[in-house]
Amino acid sequence: MNANQLFIDKRLTVEQIEFYNENGYLHLGKTLTDTGLAKMISECMDAWKKEKEDYNEEKNWLQNALLVDIHKKSKIVRDFYFEGPIPDVMTQVIGPNIKAATSQLTFKMRGNTKSFAWHQDNGYGELDPYNTISSLTALEDVDEENGCLRIIPGSHKQGQIDVSQLFKKDRKEQTVTIDLEVDESEAIPIPMKAGETIFFHCWTLHQSRGNFSKSRDRRILFMRYADANAVEVYNNRQPRLGKLLKGSTEFEEVANFEKDI
């Protein structure tokens, strides 16, 4: 446990690294103390309520379920994202040079029964090198009833899927989605307890069903980490901007990005 008693330090074992390499995901366990979790929920909900309202089926997915750049709106998220246990773990599975790539809240409040289709995270934002990792930290218990993550173990081994012909525009939702065909019999749910974190490879196939609980929300902190020299394939291979967290980078704009945050 770290000095401020908010986060729980982590270091992967050889067995955990082997499991991740084989399956494309890892349940990291608890990364927030009870005190840290309470503070995380408080600050996240303060930020959420400033910009969002209760779930409304008349509103689109972006309005109901997403709040981007949460690290700019919550100190504990910023500390967790930049200096918490996960960046240290990322050096074990990505390499010594790490930058922050995405932070957001992805909520499925009670009543939101919409599913999110099967996809690879690199399908929505292809980064090279292909070792970017997404992490999910649960702000409450999540299971199949309230829409936990579902993945296909080992699916990362098939590599990057060409989704250029698979994007679907939804004017009502104001989103562009990917819906990959998968063998559902290979999928497994990944339930989590509040304060726990899982992470998965950018090629791992995953999705989530709707929240069918009558009494529970499903609130998740989503953070993405990349090699410090990762570039956006879809953007003429421009460097992905994000705060340099570990090691060094060849890109000056990354080295100086959010340097004072």
Instruction: Scan for tokens 């080992």, then name that residue.
Output: 154
Q: What is the CA angle 75-81-87, rounded to 5?
A: 145
**Could you tell me the end-to-end alpha-carbon distance of the chain, in angstroms, rounded to an integer?**
24
pTM given for the model: 0.93
CATH T-level assignment (fold) for domain 14-255:
Jelly Rolls (2.60.120)
pLDDT (tens digit, 9 = 90+) per residue, 19-66? 999 999 999 999 999 999 999 999 999 999 998 877 777 777 677 789
CA distances from 223 to 111, 185, 258 (A): 25, 28, 16
- Give me the count of residues in the chain: 261
Q: DSSP assignment, residue 83?
A: H
Percent of the chain whose predicted confidence (pLDDT) is above 70: 93
Q: What are the beta bridge partners of residue 68?
A: 104
**Rounded average pLDDT over 158-185:** 74
SS3 content of the chain, % helix, strand, coil (to 5): 30, 30, 45
Percentage of residues in the chain with pLDDT exceeding 90?
A: 81
pLDDT at 179: 78
Alpha-carbon span 238 to 252, nearest angstrom: 12
Domain ranges of the chain: 14-255
